[in-house]
């Protein structure tokens, strides 16, 4: 066999290894009920849950409670199926958490609390297109 064939086989083997190792770490998007079911079945796989912070009738966010030392935060989140659940995040509260339109928490259930290892926020964009009113010039 030529050296170029051996090098090509090694490169292909490395590419296959990288693809397999990253595919095993991928998590799935679920709602709170599915995340609870996965946890109850003994799965330690991290999942993504998409939702919004819980709001009262006036649209004010409720249920966000920073820890005593401000190094943790607990909040209520409503998933896309309108299921409300408590989420615990063992890191300081992200600064834009209360301004976010949508929240994605990555983690798993333990008991009745979702333990998030990561939080992704979708905040209102200051670059959103705004409608302009044009008046007629006479």
Q: What is the pLDDT along the chain (138 residues), one digit of tens a residue?
A: 788 888 888 889 888 888 777 665 556 789 999 989 888 888 888 899 999 999 888 888 888 888 888 899 999 999 999 999 999 999 998 888 888 889 999 999 988 899 999 999 887 665 556 666 666 766
Q: Which two tokens stand for residue 33?
A: 């009920």
88: which strand partners? Answer: 74, 115
CATH C-level class of 27-122 = mainly beta
Which one, of 97, 94, 109, 95, lies nearest residue 51 by Cα? 97
* Model pLDDT, residue 138: 62
How many distinct helices (H) and strands (E) make up the chain? 2, 7
* Model pLDDT, residue 3: 86
pTM of the model: 0.70
* Model pLDDT, residue 115: 94
Q: Could you tell me the residue ranges of all domains in the chain?
A: 27-122
Q: Which two tokens stand for residue 47?
A: 């999942």
């Amino acid at each position: 066999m030529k050296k170029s064939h051996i090098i090509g086989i090694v490169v292909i083997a490395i590419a296959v290894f990288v693809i397999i190792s990253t595919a095993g770490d991928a998590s799935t998007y679920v709602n709170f009920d599915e995340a609870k079911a996965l946890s109850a079945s003994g799965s330690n796989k991290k999942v993504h849950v998409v939702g919004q912070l819980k709001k009262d009738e006036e649209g004010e966010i409720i249920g966000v409670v920073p820890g005593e030392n401000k190094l943790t935060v607990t909040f209520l989140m409503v998933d896309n199926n309108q299921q409300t659940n408590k989420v615990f995040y063992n890191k300081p509260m992200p600064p834009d958490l209360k301004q976010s339109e949508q929240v994605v928490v990555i983690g798993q259930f333990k008991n009745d609390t979702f333990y998030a290892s990561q939080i992704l926020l979708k905040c209102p964009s200051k670059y959103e297109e705004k409608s302009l009113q044009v008046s007629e010039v006479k």
